[in-house]
Amino acid sequence: MDVIVIGGGVAGVTTAYALREAGHRVCVIERHTTVAQEASFGAGGLLLPSALDTWFGPTMPGSRWQTRFGRSSGLIYRPGMNLEVRGWMRRWRAERKPERFAAQFGRLRLLSDLSRTELAAIESRHNLEIEQRSGVLHLFRSSQDLKQAASALALLKEIEAPHRILGAAECVALEPSIPATQPLAGGVLLPGDRSANCPLFAKQLKQLLNDNDVRFMLESTVLAIQVQASGVRVKLTARVDPFARRGGAQSQAGEDISADAVVVAAGAHSLELLADAGLRLPLHPVRMHALMAPILHEELAPHLTLVDTAKRITISRLNNRMKLTGAALIQSRERAFAAPDTVLRNQALDLLAQAAHDWAPGAVKFSSARQWDGVRLLSPDGLPVVSRTAHPRLFVNLAHGPSGWGLATGAAALLAELVSGTSEPAADELLGALSAARFKR
């Protein structure tokens, strides 16, 4: 079949890869000059989520007071009088209950296991170098933080996930970048978990797809999706030609592209397209932040990936750079898509800089740091949406969350099976858990 993938982030690129592997002809539409320029660019280093860093469950703030003040929780919550965001937050917090968390994590684990298999196949087949690093150390500032994570730790033990619970002194001995004076109750080491460079992975995968006849339409913005009985048509805006010699930049005419199926994988920008096509999902845009700084003193830089569990900030090494991600800003949908508020943006970036000072002081050159902020989608139950829609030729692959960009590979494999009509009965439980229809139950 001819399949259009809307979105050139890691979700869109991995979807294109899986569809091409399934034998389809694929075209990827991306509005930027290359892939992985928005949420994928700011993705944290963690490849796959664990019970300790999911964006639902016991380590998430449980009360409105915990999310009101960003410095204590790492989340900046500014709902104003918006009832939609307040309602979404209530649904999101409900997942913290131990029995609901265990059930949801069981479903997420199915996707994680599939993603681990898909990642391994891609890495071994193509010999990719994506700045990988093994070992993730979750740090707990206080005994209260450790107590709050008790059900997550019990779940790690139940599923026999390799991990070590460490005291404060053991954490400092294992990771010398942590100053002995930093308040620390303990940590949990996940030796088999990995971090890697998400945008680098997406760009290397794009090059492989270019060599395998996948078409990339860059600097192209989708205006609308028109679903028809015989197929799907995608309407594009006119493009500006920067190389026009006369009369300044000239607009190239927009075009319509027809295909047998369309996959919407454009992150937060998918919401408007899907709404126009008659599909509304309870996904909320959350503004995330990141700092990337060159390492100034190698001896002071962490060699493990560190996660400040209470503040939900990840510190990962990418060769000679250190990347800090987190500081989520939760506000109304309208404000999330508006120009960033300077005061709130600075508050979020200060949270990241403080985490660097707390866990690896003096390691990086902040005067050369690159700052980033962007919007990514979260679902109220913490699981992505990988699904067909009411129209049999329109599919979605969205909301993989801020933790574990490698989930995109497993989601893409599932999506390719849906498009091809070849999904196995063994995948029915997972497909049901990720279906858009789950929100109507």
pTM: 0.93
**DSSP run (H or E) holding 90:** helix 83-94
Q: What is the dihedral of CA 274, 279, 282, 284, to 10 degrees?
A: 10
Do the Cβ atoms of 283 and 292 come closer than 8 Å? no
Query: What residue has token string 């075009």?
Result: 255
Residue count of the chain, please give it: 441
Please give the Cα distance from 91 to 189 (Å, whole number): 30
What is the reported pLDDT for 440? 83
Beta-bridge mates of residue 167: 186
How does pLDDT run along the chain (441 residues), one tens digit per residue? 999 999 999 999 999 999 999 999 999 999 999 999 999 999 999 999 999 998 888 887 765 544 444 556 788 999 888 888 888 888 888 887 888 889 999 999 999 999 999 999 999 999 999 999 999 999 999 999 999 999 999 999 999 999 999 999 999 999 999 999 999 999 999 999 999 999 999 999 999 999 999 999 999 999 999 988 788 999 998 665 544 444 444 445 568 899 999 999 999 999 999 998 889 999 999 999 999 999 999 999 999 999 999 899 999 999 999 999 999 999 999 999 999 999 999 999 999 999 999 999 999 999 999 999 999 999 989 899 999 999 999 999 999 988 899 999 999 999 999 999 998 888 899 999 999 999 886
CA angle 352, 315, 207 (to 5 degrees): 110
Contact between 15 and 416 (Cβ < 8 Å): yes
Q: Which residues pair with 6 in a beta bridge?
A: 29, 264
